Copies of this chain bind each other. A is one copy, B any other.
Amino acid sequence: MTKPLRVGVAGLGTVGAALIAQVAAQRAQLTARCGRPIEIVAVCARSKVKNRGVDLKKMKWFSDPVELAGDPGIDLFVELMGGSGDPAKTAVEFALASGKSVVTANKALLAKHGVKLAQLAEKSAVSLNYEAAVGAAIPIVKTLREGLTGNSINRIYGILNGTCNYILTRMEQEKLSFAECLKQAQQLGYAEANPAFDIEGHDTAQKLSLLASLAFGTKVDQSAIYVEGISSIAAADLAAADELGYRVKLLGVAVKTPQGIEQRVHPTMVRKDSSIAQVMGVTNAVTVDAEGINPITLIGPGAGGAATASAVLSDIADVARGHMTPPFGRPTASLSSVRKAPMQRHEGGYYIRLMARDKPGTAASIATRLAEQEISLESIVQRHPKDGPSADTAKGSVPVILITYATSEDGVRKALAAVGRDKVISGRPQVIRIEKN
């Protein structure tokens, strides 16, 4: 029998515990499929006494993850602690520098230090695998890193945050407010007590930065991403989207444009009959547009102990098989710097919801300001609220919904600034970009 792959696991939260249970349950299958046994021989966590529902008796215990990372008794270091700082960073660096492969689910660490860590891995000729860092059980990293090796990718976009998708799904289906749905998500454990990281789009941005690098051969660069969250989305937007044949999703989008690579995270209108629009609740999905072929969409659980452990285990299995792929799919030295397409140059359709003052000249003023920026309208809907002014409706104002043909972000911003100066609307206009799909 070939020598076992000896694995050390740092971090025994739900993912770590699920991983240990899965390796134990699938021992024989893993040995058959990888050609050698996979053995978790050492673990590290804060509390040694906590009951995690798994048998740790045969495993060496470490209280310091860096010490575990350097232990000569392991071949592979699995980092499940999270966070872009220490101890995760030092432990992963130390493991790679001492010639051990690393498997991690840590998107924050890779988004911030991905290039440096990839260089370290290459120098030691070891693997740095992170399937679980994006979309958990969805095999998107493998698909981009190995599967679509000979494709030229034009665009990649996805629903990468289950919390936001859960909230938007509830808002749409139950006609509830953002605040109510956030509260429910928190009660169900889908959202953190401090939800900003999820709902303001930063979690999606970290994941998008990894997908963009894999898709375009660029250096991971989270700072190149334009980020907008979902907290401004109102039930009225979802109702209007529904009527117009759209749904609103928080998407991470990376796309090749003549100006460079556009990377953006924002609430997005997607056509209701697209694959991505059907993705509901905490489920994640990624769509890849490669040159010359129809889109490929991968849908699945984007979080949870078992789903994340499933991806971690698939990464471990690749190391056991001796399959090594450069961390970002290409030699790190050949990764190019992101030529960032400025957001002002973004082109696409826009949904604009305004509270227009109900007085003569308002429509003409708005129309003129849009025309000045050469913005053409696909549709205009003016609603007179059925049951008197709703919470959304300021006194003496009526909601107007505009859908533009493809135009530039810059034009939309300038037109709306001018409309604001004209004092024909109340409150801030709501703007949601439309993604073609």
Q: Which residue of B is nearest A335, CB measured?
A: B32
Say yes or no for A300: interface residue by CB 8 A criterion: yes
Among the listed stretches A83-91, A288-296, A351-359, which one makes contact with chain B, having 4 or more residues with CB under 8 Å of it? A288-296
Interface string of A4-39 (1 = CB under 8 A from B): 000000000000000000110110011011110000
- Distance of A135 from chain B, by nearest CB (Å): 10
Known: A292-B306, A299-B299. A149 touches B278 (CB 8 A): no
Interface string of A129-164 (1 = CB under 8 A from B): 001000001110011001111111000000000000
- Distance of A83 from chain B, by nearest CB (Å): 25
Q: A147 and B151: CB pair below 8 A?
A: no
Q: State how many copies of this chain the complex holds.
A: 2
Among the listed stretches A247-255, A259-267, A311-319, which one makes contact with chain B, having 4 or more residues with CB under 8 Å of it? A311-319
Say yes or no for A304: interface residue by CB 8 A criterion: yes
Known: A149-B33, A150-B29, A330-B32. A300 touches B297 (CB 8 A): yes
CB contacts (< 8 Å) of A23 on chain B: these are 150
Say yes or no for A339: interface residue by CB 8 A criterion: no
Q: A294 and B283: CB pair below 8 A?
A: yes
Among the listed stretches A55-63, A185-193, A321-329, A412-420, which one makes contact with chain B, having 4 or more residues with CB under 8 Å of it? A321-329
CB contacts (< 8 Å) of A278 on chain B: these are 273, 275, 278
Say yes or no for A310: interface residue by CB 8 A criterion: yes
Q: Which residue of B is nearest A294, CB measured?
A: B301
Say yes or no for A181: interface residue by CB 8 A criterion: no
Say yes or no for A120: interface residue by CB 8 A criterion: no
CB contacts (< 8 Å) of A316 on chain B: these are 150
Say yes or no for A307: interface residue by CB 8 A criterion: yes
How far apart sit A35 and B323, CA to CA, in the bound complex (Å)?
13
Say yes or no for A298: interface residue by CB 8 A criterion: yes
CB contacts (< 8 Å) of A34 on chain B: these are 149
Say yes or no for A331: interface residue by CB 8 A criterion: yes
Say yes or no for A51: interface residue by CB 8 A criterion: no
- Distance of A366 from chain B, by nearest CB (Å): 36
CB contacts (< 8 Å) of A194 on chain B: these are none
Say yes or no for A334: interface residue by CB 8 A criterion: yes
Known: A139-B143, A143-B139, A275-B299. A151 touches B294 (CB 8 A): no
- Distance of A121 from chain B, by nearest CB (Å): 14
Q: Which residue of B is nearest A293, CB measured?
A: B307
How far apart sit A150 and B139, CA to CA, in the bound complex (Å)?
13
Tell which of B283, B317, B334 touches A150, judged by Cβ atoms closer than 8 Å.
Answer: B317
Q: B318 and A33: CB pair below 8 A?
A: no
- Distance of A172 from chain B, by nearest CB (Å): 13
23 residue pairs of the A-B complex, CB under 8 angstroms, read: A22-B150, A23-B150, A25-B152, A29-B149, A29-B150, A30-B149, A30-B150, A32-B334, A33-B326, A35-B331, A137-B290, A139-B296, A148-B310, A151-B313, A275-B299, A292-B306, A293-B300, A293-B310, A294-B304, A296-B298, A296-B300, A298-B298, A323-B323
Known: A30-B150, A296-B300, A297-B298. 10 other contacts (CB 8 A): A22-B150, A35-B331, A137-B296, A142-B147, A150-B310, A150-B317, A273-B280, A278-B278, A298-B298, A321-B323
9 pairs of A and B residues whose beta carbons are closest in the complex: A296-B300, A150-B313, A149-B317, A139-B147, A294-B301, A292-B306, A297-B299, A293-B307, A323-B323
